[in-house]
Amino acid sequence: METQTPTPFTVIPNRRPATDEERWIAMEDPVFGKVFTDHMARATWRDGHGWADRRIVPLAPLPLHPGAAVLHYAQQAFEGLKAYRHEDGSVWLFRPEANAARLAASCRRMALPEVSEEDFLAALEALIAADHAWVPGTPGSSLYLRPLVIATEASLLVQPAAEVDFIVTASPVGAYMAAPGGVSIWVSRGYHRANAGGTGDTKTAGNYAASMLPQAEAKAHGCQQVLFLDAREDTYVEELGGMNLVAVRADGSILTPRLTGTILPGVTRDSILTLLRDEGRAVEERDIALTELVEGIESGEILELFACGTAAVVTPIARLVSDDLDVTVRGAGEGGSVADAVLARLTDLQYGRGEDAHGWMRRVLDAPPAEETAEGDAE
C-alpha cells in the first residue's frame, strides 16, 4: 500500500501577536498552563472524509455549538509534552513518538479517530516554528504542548461523534520548584480513580474531573497531591492524580506499581525506569499493597518515594497521610538521593547537556544562524 505524505499544516499568521514586551512579561514567571502563545495547530475530521484542514491559526476561543458532544459526554483525549531549548538555541522534543502512540491509544478507547504520528509531529513542529520566540531559554523552563482531540459534532445522541477537531496549544512554563524536603500525599480512601475496563490508562478528561474532589480533600488535609488505591480491592497503590509513583529501597533497587490498565503509562515513568535500569539497578514492577509500602517506609526498607510526570518531572514525597495514617519518608529531599540523581540525568538529557543514549530527543528547530540578532530578520 502506498504511504501517504501528510498534508503540511498551512500557516495563517496571527496579525496581532504579542509584542516583544508583552511576551517577555508573560514569560517572566508564568503560572503553569495560564499563558498561551500566539497560535494553535488545528485539523478537522469528518466521518467518511478523514482528517483535513491542517492549519496553524491565531490562538482564539473555539466557536463550539452548545450541543457539541464533548461538552455533554466528554468524548475527548489529550496529551502533554514539552519542547526544550538547548544552549545553542535549537529546540527539541522529548520522546514525542511516545505521546503520539498514547494519544492514538486514548483516541481508540474514546471512539475518536486516531491522529497519525505524522500529523501529531507535523502539528507540533509547525506550531513551534510559528511560535519559536515563545520557547523559553532560562534554565529549567520549557514550552508545554497540549494536544487535544474533541468531539465537536452538535449531537446529543450517545454515540461516537461524526465531527472531531485536533488542536494543539502551547504554553511557556517555568522551572518546576519542588517543595523543599518533598511533598505530602493524601491517600484517598473514599474515592478511586479507575476500574478494570474503564479509562484509567487513557488520558481523557473524565479521569481528571473525577480526581478534583479527592484532590481538594488532599488540600484540606494539608497535602499537595492525592494517591489512589485500586478500586477492586482498595488495597494496592496505583498513582497520583497526575503522576506515577516510584519507591527506592535501601538496597538501591526500585519498586513501582505495574501497569494494570488502570494506571496511565507515563512517558516519564518509562524513561526513568530505563535510566535506572541502565545504571544496573533492579526494577520491580508489581502490585504494591499500601500496607507493604507503609511497613517498608517504617522499617527503613524503603528509603525514598517520588512522583514523576512531564509537568513536575520528579517530585520527592516526604509524607503519606490518611485518616488512619501518617508516615514520614526518611530519604526525601536529602542530598544524594536517587530522585535527585535521576532528575539530573533526565533533565541533562532533555536540555542537551547529557548523552542521548536511547535516541529520545527530536530536533524540531535548528540553532539560529550566528549572525541573527535581536532585531530579527531583515525584510
Ligand X SMILES: Cc1ncc(COP(=O)(O)O)c(C=O)c1O
* Binds ligand X (CB under 6 A): choice among 76, 199, 268, 350: 268
Residue 234 one-letter amino acid: D
Q: How far apart are CA 144 and CA 135, in angstroms?
A: 9
Closest CB to ligand X among 42 and 95? 95
Please report how close the Cβ of residue 102 comes to ligand X at its closest, in angstroms.
Answer: 7
Q: Does 96 bind ligand X (CB under 6 A)?
A: no
Please, is 328 exposed, middle or buried when counting C-beta atoms within 10 Å of its C-beta (0-12, 13-18, 19+)? middle
* Binds ligand X (CB under 6 A): choice among 17, 80, 182, 296: 80
Q: Does 310 bind ligand X (CB under 6 A)?
A: yes
Q: Does 182 bind ligand X (CB under 6 A)?
A: no
At 204, list the grid cell.
Answer: 481523557
Q: Does 106 bind ligand X (CB under 6 A)?
A: no
Q: Does 201 bind ligand X (CB under 6 A)?
A: no
Please report how close the Cβ of residue 349 comes to ligand X at its closest, in angstroms.
Answer: 14
Give the DSSP per-residue string, 136-163.
Answer: --STT-EEEEEEEEEE--B--SSS--SE
Per residue, the 3-state secondary structure of 215-279, as one string, reads HHHHHHCCCCEEEEECCCCCCEEEEECCCEEEEEECCCCEEECCCCCCCCCCHHHHHHHHHHHHC
Closest CB to ligand X among 165 and 239? 239
Q: Does 333 bind ligand X (CB under 6 A)?
A: no
Is 313 within 8 Å of 343 (Cβ atoms)?
A: yes
Cα dihedral value 194, 195, 200, 201, nearest 10: 150
Q: Does 309 bind ligand X (CB under 6 A)?
A: yes
CA distances from 12 to 127, 149, 213 (A): 11, 21, 40
Closest CB to ligand X among 71 and 210? 210
Q: How far apart are CA 111 and CA 106, in angstroms?
A: 9
Give the H or E element holding residue 107: helix 96-109
The maximal CA–CA distance of the chain, rounded, in angstroms, is 69
Q: Does 304 bind ligand X (CB under 6 A)?
A: no
* Binds ligand X (CB under 6 A): choice among 30, 136, 266, 333: 266
Closest CB to ligand X among 14 and 207? 207
Q: Does 37 bind ligand X (CB under 6 A)?
A: no
Please report how close the Cβ of residue 267 comes to ligand X at its closest, in angstroms.
Answer: 4
* Binds ligand X (CB under 6 A): choice among 244, 256, 322, 347: 244
The 3-state DSSP class for residue 109 equals helix
Site size for ligand X (CB under 6 A): 12
Q: Does 264 bind ligand X (CB under 6 A)?
A: yes
Binding to ligand X (CB under 6 A) within 160-179 occurs at none
Closest CB to ligand X among 51 and 94? 94
Q: Which stretch binds ligand X (CB under 6 A): 155-163, 262-270, 315-323, 328-336?
A: 262-270
Q: Does 267 bind ligand X (CB under 6 A)?
A: yes
Which of 77, 76, 78, 66 lies closest to 156 in space, CA to CA? 66
Q: Does 243 bind ligand X (CB under 6 A)?
A: yes
Q: Which stretch binds ligand X (CB under 6 A): 106-114, 119-127, 145-153, 261-269?
A: 261-269
Q: Which stretch binds ligand X (CB under 6 A): 175-183, 249-257, 263-271, 318-326?
A: 263-271
Q: Which stretch binds ligand X (CB under 6 A): 14-22, 61-69, 133-141, 239-247?
A: 239-247
From the centroid of its chain, how far is CA 23?
24
Give the H or E element holding residue 339: helix 338-350
Q: Does 230 bind ligand X (CB under 6 A)?
A: no
CA distances from 162 to 46, 66, 152, 158, 274 (A): 6, 16, 8, 12, 40
Please report how close the Cβ of residue 228 comes to ligand X at its closest, in angstroms.
Answer: 9
Q: Does 75 bind ligand X (CB under 6 A)?
A: no
Positions touching ligand X (CB under 6 A) are 80, 239, 242-244, 264, 266-269, 309-310
